[in-house]
């Protein structure tokens, strides 16, 4: 919910900026490119951050697993947290509890580090956008009036 509240205004402003900067006859194409870019960026972000989180989880869990966990069970536990929970249920109680605790800690570590990376990237991009947009000229009222006249003449 917090993420949606923060991103909804950004998406609206971004779309307005993109569509508003395109000539009126190209507004549909600009809107389509904007939407495609947002979807592609979201999918790539999820894939990249998910891959980083999984890599951290696997590396961290490999260090946390007790030495007496069978190699096959250890390999399955390193796949996902769900796999680690399933493996822990099949091991003796004390060993299963150790695997489960290690998997949970490794998962949290992966989430924390990937979230920190995502936050750092977001701050960096915000600073970049601020620097780029700070030097952009603001549209004047004359530009807005000219655009309205162009639209009225085309639709008229």
pLDDT at 15: 83
Domain ranges of the chain: 7-134
Can you tell me the mean pLDDT for 130-151? 69
Cβ atoms of residues 102 and 65 within 8 Å: yes
Residues 76, 35: Cα–Cα separation, whole Å: 39
Ordered DSSP codes for 67-105: TTS-HHHHHHHHH-HHHHHHHHHHS-HHHHHHHHHHHHH
**Residues 125-134: b if buried by 16+ CB within 10 A, e if exposed:** eeeeeeeeee
Q: What percent of the chain has pLDDT over 70?
A: 88
Where residue 141 falls among pLDDT bands split at 50, 70, 90? low
* Residue 74 CA, distance from chain mean position: 29
What is the overall mean pLDDT for the chain?
A: 86
DSSP state at residue 25? G
Residue 49's nearest CA partner among 99, 121, 154, 151 is 121
Residue 154 has pLDDT above 70, yes or no: no
Ordered DSSP codes for 98-146: HHHHHHHHHHHHHHHHHHHHHHHHHHHHHHHHHHHHHTSPPPPHHHHHH
Condensed to tens digits (0 to 9), the pLDDT of residues 70-119 reads: 999 999 999 999 999 999 999 999 999 999 999 999 999 999 999 999 99
More confident residue, 10 or 128: 128
Residue 75's nearest CA partner among 87, 60, 92 is 87
Specify the pTM. Answer: 0.70
């Amino acid at each position: 919910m917090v993420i949606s509240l923060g991103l909804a205004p950004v998406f609206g402003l971004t779309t307005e900026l993109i569509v508003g900067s395109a000539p009126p006859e190209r507004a549909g194409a600009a809107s389509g490119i904007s939407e495609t870019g947002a979807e592609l960026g979201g999918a790539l972000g999820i894939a990249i951050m998910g891959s980083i989180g999984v890599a951290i989880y696997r590396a961290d869990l490999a260090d946390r697993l007790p030495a007496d966990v069978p190699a096959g069970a250890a390999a399955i536990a390193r796949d996902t947290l769900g796999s680690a929970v399933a493996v822990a249920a099949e091991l003796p109680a004390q060993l299963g509890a150790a695997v489960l605790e290690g998997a949970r800690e490794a998962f949290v570590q992966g989430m924390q580090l990937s979230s920190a990376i995502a936050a750092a990237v977001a701050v960096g991009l915000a600073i970049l956008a601020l620097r780029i947009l700070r030097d952009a000229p603001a549209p004047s009222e004359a530009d807005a009036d000219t655009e309205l006249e162009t639209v009225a003449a085309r639709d008229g």
